[in-house]
Amino acid sequence: MKNSNYNHLTNEEKSVIELKGTESPFSGEYDNFYATGTYVCRRCDAVLYNSVDKFDAQCGWPAFDKEVTGAVSKNPDPDGFRIEITCTNCESHLGHVFIGEKLTSTNTRHCVNSLSLKFVQGVSS
């Protein structure tokens, strides 16, 4: 998992990305943020989400109803209840995915830590 080509992470970013922590709700820079562009993995810069797929779930974290195809892996969370989402490229912890809430037409909510993401301004891919 360690790679010298990864971006430098602060201790706070490491606690979320490497130790699978969660930032406090409503504290992340991308929670209430709706510019046009793409969201990439903070550790490896892989493209994960497009801004057109972001929505206001009022949950306290950035929410997306779909990921860039193949960019996000889904695995059972150790808690036995949730599905963890990670960057397919580097295995960074992103957050969790929830199905069946009926918040969007895809019936899916990727609840992502802002600390796991970087925003790249411009046209969504």
Backbone angles phi, psi at 11, to 5 degrees: -60, -40
Q: What is the DSSP letter of 103?
A: S
Instruction: Tally DSSP H helices, then E strands, for the chain.
Output: 1, 9
Q: Is residue 112 a contact partner of residue 61, using CB atoms and an 8 Å limit?
A: yes
Q: Is residue 64 a contact partner of residue 111, using CB atoms and an 8 Å limit?
A: no
Q: Which of 44, 87, 90, 111 is catalytic?
A: 111
**Residue 111 falls in the annotated catalytic set:** yes
Tell me the C-alpha distance between 37 and 112, whole Å: 16
Closest to 64 in 3D by CA, of 56, 72, 74: 56
Give the catalytic positions in this structure. Answer: 111
